[in-house]
Structure formats: C-alpha cells, structure tokens
Amino acid sequence: MSKLFADRAAGLSGSAIRATFKLLADPEIISFAGGAPSPDLFPREELEEIAARIFRDKCNLALQYGITEGYAPLADFVKARLVSQGVIRAGESVIITTGGQQVIDLTARALVNEGDVVVAERPSFVGGLNCFRSYNADLRDVPVENDGLSTDALEEMLKTTKIKLVYTIPTFQNPSGITMSLAKRKRLLELAEKHDFYILEDNPYGELRYRGEDVATIKSMDETGRVIYAGSFSKILSPGLRLGFASARADILEKLVVIKQITDVHTPTLNQLLAYEFVTNYDLDAHVRRSRELYGHKCAVMLGEMDRRFPEYCEYTRPEGGIFLWCTLPDRFDSKELFNRGVEKKVAFVPGDSCMVDMNKKYSSFRLNFSNTADDKIAEGIKILAGVIEEAAAQ
C-alpha cells in the first residue's frame, strides 16, 4: 500500500482543537476560549427586512452563480470604504472572499512553496499557523513586544534567512490584543522591500478600537505592492455569513481570484447581497460604534476583575481594541495544565501552545476572549480562574 495522504496533508490534525471543542460543549462551562462576536450585536430585524426584499426583488441574482471576484456592488462598497479609511488608493481593487480565513489560504497557496520561510508572530492566530503548516512552509516566528512584532528579531533572522512572507495581525492582534506601532510598521515595510519578501496584513479587528488613536495600516503605506491585505465582515456584521475581502497588487489579486475559482467558484451570492443591502440601507458606522462600545465595556469588565482577583505575578495586555487579551504567568506555570484544571472547574481559555509555531514546548501564557460572555459570567469565570492559578501555584 502506498501512502494515502499527500505530504502536505499527512501531518495535519485537528484532533487537539476538536477534543477541546467537545469539552467546551458543556453548557456549564464559562468559556473565554472562543473568538465569536456577541450575538447581541447581530442586526436581526434589519437582516430579516433585507432578506425579504432580496427574495422578492433579486431572488434570481441571489440564488444563481456569481463571478469569482465577488458581487460588484459589494466589492465597490468595500473598495470605497478602504479608500476612505486610507487603506488603499482609488485605483486599487478588492475581491470578496468566503471569510477572512480564505484570504490567508489563497495567499499561502499563491505564494508559498514547500520549504519557503514564512514568519509568524509569537504568539499568532492558530488558523493562520495551521494554514501555512498545510503547505509545508518552513514556519518561523519573531516575538510580539508591547509595540508589536520585533522588527529587530526579524532583521537578525534576515541576516541568514531568505524570507518569503511575513504573516502579521498588526492591530489588536490575535491572540495578544497588542497593536504594532507606526514606526515598526514602516520598518517592516522597509525590510520587505530591501529583502524582497511579502507581508500578509490580516486585519479582522481593526475597526474595533475602543480607546486610543488609529494607527495607519501597513497596506496604506505600501508603495510597491508588498502587502496583501485581508479584511472581514465577521467581527463587524456576522461570522456565519462567511464574508471577507482582500486587496493586493493587481497581479497578486488576479492570482488569488484564479485560485478561488477552483476552490469554491465564488462566495455565496445571497450572503453578499445581504451585506450589501445592509451597508447601503443601514448605518454600518453606527453599527461598528455599538460593537466598539460593547467590546470596550466587556474588556474593561474582564480587566477590572483580573486586576482585583489575579495574583500579582500575572501579567496581561490591556488592549485598545479587539476581542482578546493575553495573560502571561511566571515560567513555572504550564498553560496546558492550567487549562485542564480550568475545565474541571468549568472555566476555559486557549492555552499558549495553540498559538505557537513550536507547539511542543510548555508555555505559561494563555488567551482570554471577552466578546461573547455576559458581564456576570466574566466576573464569575475570572474568579474561578484566579482560584485555578493559585491552586496551581501552591503545588
């Protein structure tokens, strides 16, 4: 018998995460492990009204095949919004994707050969890491500091290593909540130009700032087409609709389209019409403001409880936006062991190793999500978690 699976697929396994999800199906568990937006923000009545109108007036369009680039009016809206935000210039194009994850996948598939060096942040988003793993990239990492990924560490790596792609979530990073400084963004771009690598700027949380000042996207400063920009409707409208978008240099974007065509032909038409009718008939900015307020409030609730309950040796980020924060304990702690203790006590989070290129070491850090948990449950969960940490410390 020859080998069943292709080399790129042989090592892929979702079993750890899937086992975790099974644990989390227990309704008594307070889960800070997910990354789901609050359903309180779903525009139920608006979408009900829009759906009725679409099935009445545009049914044949909504249910028929569409073009791979996406429903043109929605792509035009996204383009105009990105232009108004300064992310892209007027002449640049946008394609609509089946969620933001698809942009990562299409980019990896278009650019990354087996063995090519892809640099991710330490820590980074598990869905991004697994995607690059699936193409047998030579996956490396550079640490995330308080002002974003270490460009010094990247420069050091560049002395000996040819890099193909840097994968970054510069704004309200998943999982750390950290935002990269403007200076580092500029430095990263300079390095990309000097050393001929590309940057995938994944920005699903960028609109969710609840304090501080916006920092220019890396894409907005890109003069030479080094940046592939990924955006998403998941955190500002609905993740279940699976709507994302990408912008990049014309030749790269064209390649993403050609690959998307053989992947899923096109993003579901109905979903694109729903989003388009929502943004044209209702006030997306007002909707985003409500999201910011809610998540800012929830973040403050969680941080307040952590300040009150967590032992002093716990360090954690204080994000200015997004839906995650990152907690680091002294080295002697093992986040996986804490996770197991937590689940026993009915509280869950994402242990650090899931967010790492090297998953086989012990990590004393973990990710907490606050976007989809009621305030009293945040308080209760943090109290339990503080107890779990103290219990682990005592042993």
Q: Are 269 and 62 in contact (CB under 8 A)?
A: yes
Give the pairing type, strands 244-247 and 148-149: unpaired
Contact segment (CB under 8 A) with a second copy among 47-55, 79-87, 317-325, 326-334 equals 47-55
Residues 59-88 that bind a second copy (CB under 8 A): 59-68
| Member of 4, 90, 286, 394 binding a second copy (CB under 8 A) | 4
Output b/e per residue, 313-322; b: 16+ Cβ within 10 A.
ebebbebbbb
Nearer CB in complex with a second copy: 34/296: 34
Minimum distance from residue 391 beta carbon to a second copy (Å)? 32
Q: Are 108 and 160 in contact (CB under 8 A)?
A: no
Minimum distance from residue 305 beta carbon to a second copy (Å)? 25
Q: Give the relative orientation of helices 269-281 and 44-57 as an angle to the nearest 10 degrees.
A: 120
| CA distance linking residue 391 with residue 88, whole number of Å | 50
| CA distance linking residue 201 with residue 247, whole number of Å | 10
Q: Are 41 and 236 in contact (CB under 8 A)?
A: no
Q: Binding of a second copy at residue 99 (CB under 8 A)?
A: yes
| CA distance linking residue 135 with residue 200, whole number of Å | 16
Nearer CB in complex with a second copy: 225/387: 225
Nearer CB in complex with a second copy: 3/159: 3
Residues 242-261 that bind a second copy (CB under 8 A): 242, 251-252, 254-255, 257-259, 261
Q: Binding of a second copy at residue 281 (CB under 8 A)?
A: no
Minimum distance from residue 59 beta carbon to a second copy (Å)? 4
Q: Binding of a second copy at residue 189 (CB under 8 A)?
A: no
CB neighbours of residue 302 within 10 Å: 22
| CA distance linking residue 244 with residue 254, whole number of Å | 16
Contact segment (CB under 8 A) with a second copy among 10-18, 199-207, 212-220, 315-323 equals 10-18
Lookup result for tokens 């139920």: 44
Q: Binding of a second copy at residue 93 (CB under 8 A)?
A: no
| CA distance linking residue 70 with residue 381, whole number of Å | 42
Minimum distance from residue 266 beta carbon to a second copy (Å)? 7
Minimum distance from residue 269 beta carbon to a second copy (Å)? 4
- # binding residues, a second copy (CB under 8 A): 80
Nearer CB in complex with a second copy: 237/378: 237
| CA distance linking residue 235 with residue 243, whole number of Å | 10
Q: Are 253 and 34 in contact (CB under 8 A)?
A: no
- Show the site string, 332-371: x = touches a second copy by CB under 8 A, - = not: ----------------------------------------
CA dihedral 274, 260, 246, 11 (to 10 degrees): 110
Nearer CB in complex with a second copy: 295/310: 295
Q: Binding of a second copy at residue 282 (CB under 8 A)?
A: no
Q: Binding of a second copy at residue 56 (CB under 8 A)?
A: yes
Contact segment (CB under 8 A) with a second copy among 45-53, 149-157, 201-209, 338-346 equals 45-53
CB neighbours of residue 282 within 10 Å: 15
3-state class (DSSP) for residue 71: coil
Minimum distance from residue 275 beta carbon to a second copy (Å)? 11
Q: Binding of a second copy at residue 9 (CB under 8 A)?
A: yes
| Member of 203, 269, 335, 354 binding a second copy (CB under 8 A) | 269
| Member of 78, 95, 96, 111 binding a second copy (CB under 8 A) | 111
Nearer CB in complex with a second copy: 127/387: 127
Under 8 Å CB-to-CB from 182, ≥6 apart: which residues? 215, 216
Under 8 Å CB-to-CB from 246, ≥6 apart: which residues? 94, 95, 97, 103, 106, 107, 228, 229, 230, 231, 253, 256
Residues 116-155 that bind a second copy (CB under 8 A): 116, 127, 130-131, 134-135
Q: Binding of a second copy at residue 224 (CB under 8 A)?
A: no
| Member of 271, 328, 335, 354 binding a second copy (CB under 8 A) | 271
Minimum distance from residue 3 beta carbon to a second copy (Å)? 8
